[in-house]
Amino acid sequence: MADESPPPTSEVLDSKEIEQLVTPPIETPAPVGGVISAAAAATGGAKAQAYDFRNPVFLAEAELRRLRQMHEDFVRYLSARLSLYLRMDVGLKMTGLTTATYSNFTESLANPTHISLFKIEPLIGVGVLDFSPRLALTIADRLLGGRGQAIKAERNLTEIEVALIEDVILIILEEWGNQWKLDQELRPQIIGNENSARFLQSSPRDAIILTLALECTFGDCTEKLQLGVPFYTIEPLVKKMQARRQKDAAVTPAAKRAEWHTSYDRITVPVRAEWNAFEISLREISTLRVGDVIEMQPSICAETRVLLNGTPKFSGTVGLDNDCVAIQLTRKLSPEETSHAKPDGRKVP
């Protein structure tokens, strides 16, 4: 009798079957509650925007734009002031105005270099001014009577050269403080000098620094300057600048109030009262005789128009006051009621 049972299945897997078992299936995540798909359909897909977490920005774009404009004015005024002080043309160009952490700022400074640590009274915090040694030596040579030719020597500054450069640095800091246009005077002072940023600890490593990069051309020497100020130092200045701008935007021209002058006392103005009673033909007027009575509605007395120099200005009610005819003013006529009137007070048809 023949065995009709199925042949035993082989337990050995080939390479394709092993690869299918090892590789997990790729699944597309479904949107939760349809929110993602609705937003993607409305905006044409989500758009990612790059953000540098190593260089955070704590100022809005509008604030940076206003600070950039202020520093452009600073560069222009500083160039003119240094040219007068050194009696030689000094060209300055702003190459960057950014924010960075203190650690990134110090790492970007050259080594060796000339660093001046300064403080702006009455503000808190210590700022850093990076001065190229080659540019500093060229300026010091000019102050000592030289022609301002570039010094090619790469060395640290002597005490005399440091003292000469500090006068130039104070000019830079004074002009920077003047651009804030505050009622309170900002007084800069230099508190130290370094030739390397490796061991600087004037601010916390994660403090935000506003960095101004300049390119200075003095004679045949072209070098860079960097001014770094902590954000917590300029924060009060930025707030005052914003408050001043909001105050200027909120100021509206006040309505000019009418004032009485003594020169008006003797000016006479003709005053006339009239009614718009009824209309009558010229033939009927010609038939009127002395003693005739003209009938008028009693309500007309409450619609008396008062004209000043032929222009209707008020509406009032006619009455008697001690056997004298008087008019009590009830309201002032609107411009619409007076704009369509003739010089005699009658309305234009």
The token pair at 316 is 């009032």
> Residues 196, 326: one domain?
no
Residue after which a domain boundary falls, among 231, 249, 267: 249
At residue 33, the pLDDT reads: 40
> Residues 317, 233: one domain?
no
Residue after which a domain boundary falls, among 207, 228, 249: 249
Strand, helix or coil for residue 48: coil
Ramachandran angles phi, psi of 334, nearest 5°: -75, 160
Strand, helix or coil for residue 324: coil
| pLDDT beneath 70: ranges in the chain | 1-60, 251-256, 339-349
Full DSSP string of 126-146: -EEEEE-HHHHHHHHHHHTT-
Residue 326 in domain: yes
Residue 112 in domain: yes
Contact 91, 148 (CB under 8 A): no
Full DSSP string of 168-198: HHHHHHHHHHHTT--SSPPEEEEEEEES-ST
Give the ranges where the chain is alpha helix by DSSP (H): 15-22, 35-43, 61-86, 102-107, 133-143, 159-178, 231-250, 282-286, 335-339
Residue 289 in domain: no
> Residues 71, 156: one domain?
yes
- Tally of CA atoms within 13 A in the half-sphere of 269 that contains its CB: 11
> Residues 114, 182: one domain?
yes
The conformation of residue 227, written as its DSSP 8-state character, comes to E
Angle (CA) 305-307-309 rounded to 5° is 175
Q: 82 Cβ partners below 8 Å, 6+ apart?
A: 90, 92, 168, 171, 172
Question: Which residues pair with residue 311 across a beta bridge?
Answer: 308
Residue 118 in domain: yes
> Residues 98, 239: one domain?
yes
At residue 289, the pLDDT reads: 85
The whole domain housing 86 covers 61-249
CATH number at residue 215: 3.40.1550.10
Residues recorded for the chain: 349
At residue 55, the pLDDT reads: 47
> Residues 84, 232: one domain?
yes
Residue 65 in domain: yes
> Residues 203, 304: one domain?
no
Phi-psi region of 34 (alpha: psi -120 to 50; beta: other; left: phi over 0): left
Tell me the pLDDT tens digit for each residue of 181-207.
777 788 999 999 998 888 888 899 999
Strand, helix or coil for residue 222: strand
> Residues 168, 231: one domain?
yes
At residue 24, the pLDDT reads: 54
Tell me the pLDDT tens digit for each residue of 254-277.
666 778 888 888 888 888 888 877
- CA 184 – CA 49 distance, rounded (Å): 41
> Residues 198, 329: one domain?
no
State the residue for tokens 């004209």. Answer: 307
Report the sign of the C-alpha dihedral through residues 148, 154, 158, 163, in that order.
positive
Full DSSP string of 243-275: HHHHHHHH--PPPPPP---GGGTT----EEEE-
At residue 11, the pLDDT reads: 55
The conformation of residue 89, written as its DSSP 8-state character, comes to -
Residue 207 in domain: yes
Residue 78 in domain: yes
- CA 117 – CA 113 distance, rounded (Å): 13
At residue 34, the pLDDT reads: 41
Q: What total of structural domains would you count in the chain? A: 2
Burial of 127 (0-12, 13-18, 19+ CB in 10 A): buried
